[in-house]
Amino acid sequence: MDGSFPIPEIESGRADAAFREEVDAFLDAELTEELRAAGRETTGLKSPRWACDAWRKRLLARGWFAPSWPIEHGGADWSAAQRLYFENACAQRDAPIIMNSGVRTIGPLIIAEGSEDQKARYLPAILNGEHEWCQGFSEPQAGSDLSALSLRATRDGDDFILNGSKVWTSFAQYASHMFLLARCEEGSAGRDGLVFLLVEMNRPGIRVRPIDFISGETETNEVFFDNVRTPAADRIGDIGEGWRAAKALMAIARSNNTTTGLLRRALRAAKRGMIGLAPSQDLYNLAMKVDTFEALEARVASGEMPVGSAASSSVLKVIATELHQAITQAGLGLAPNSDFAQAKYLSTRAATIYSGTSEVHRNILAHAIGCP
């Protein structure tokens, strides 16, 4: 015994007993010690590629790699409660963190709004690992204010010619495809005149330059487009209506994805630094906050929150990222000389900037409750 406070590792939520037993049995059987070690040692957004690929194949064979997708497209069609339980169960057992944009965001958007050709071309390739996607939204002058983007998409026959750049593009160095927003109408501004494109990353004129983190990891990139030709048909929605498609994608991201599992992983990592030390009241309090956040996330996923979806998403984003930072800071305080604790702490410093700064999300919440 290490003398620490008991920290809850998992909540059953509303998933039924039979489902919980099935998940637990599968994870206990399929998660090898090698895969658990890879998940346990992950400090950034995603586990090593070999571990992600090995775990993807096991999940795919069971039909669980795309838990929110409809069964007819290769998914599991799980409820929000089932997804939440599964993520927590994976966190409890240190499963590799896959963080696959194809499964989490663009795949569901293609299912909802893509053509039959796009569904046939892209969905199986996402599931089998042939296609790996990255998101091309942020630009040097368009971060939290996404409507300020300036990547140009100039029509030339059946194609668009792309010129400009994207930045902070997560895992673009590994991606085979990017979904992006570009400005396609001359003289347009703000949310008007945009197009939502699906672009192959091997097209001539695309250059990826990795951005090194202070932690030593490389997760985000700059991506440059120099006269890149891409088919105009490879898009979601109408030309000029890209903002609507982007909003649909963000709504999918809010409804299909959960964060509690990542917070529980951070708690487990911090708790490992307590061995031989006196109990940490701070860490125990943070564990209680994670329990509270899980209840909130379950309410949002089930549509029970009284505010709109954008405000609900902002609530989750602000609380989760700031709580994640607090957990890794507590972990560093418990093990200040640990390379792992230091890397974990550094990897979460930018969390309150990702997907819109916390300040922007607080403004959204202020407007939602009627503040001027």
Domain ranges, ordered by start, for the chain: 17-97+259-368, 133-245
Q: State whether residue 65 is helix, strand or coil.
A: coil
Alpha-carbon distance of 73 to 70, in angstroms, equals: 6
For residue 143, CA distances in Å to 115, 146, 327 come to: 30, 6, 26
For 211, how many CA atoms within 13 A lie in the half-sphere containing its CB?
13
Amino acid identity of residue 167, one-letter, is V
The phi and psi torsions of 263 (rounded to 5 degrees) equal -65, -40
User: 1, 6, 7, 4: which is closest to 267 by C-alpha?
Assistant: 7
Query: Cα–chain-centroid distance for residue 320?
Result: 13
Structure tokens given for 259:
């964060």
Class of domain 17-97+259-368: mainly alpha
This model's pTM is above 0.85: yes
Alpha-carbon distance of 81 to 79, in angstroms, equals: 5
Q: Looking at the structure, give the CATH architecture of the domain made up of residues 133-245.
A: Beta Barrel (2.40)
Structure tokens given for 277:
């030390």
What local confidence, expressed as pLDDT, does residue 307 receive?
Answer: 59
Alpha-carbon distance of 256 to 278, in angstroms, equals: 39
Structure tokens given for 146:
């996404």
What local confidence, expressed as pLDDT, does residue 306 receive?
Answer: 63
**Beta bridge partners of residue 135, listed in sequence order:** 179
**Mean pLDDT by 10-residue block, N- to C-terminus, for the chain (372 residues)?**
40 73 98 97 92 96 96 94 92 94 95 96 96 94 77 97 95 96 90 96 97 82 98 96 90 73 92 76 92 88 69 86 94 91 89 80 85 80
Contact 331, 269 (CB under 8 A): yes
In eight-state DSSP terms, residue 139 is B
In eight-state DSSP terms, residue 102 is I
What local confidence, expressed as pLDDT, does residue 4 receive?
Answer: 41
Alpha-carbon distance of 279 to 157, in angstroms, equals: 67
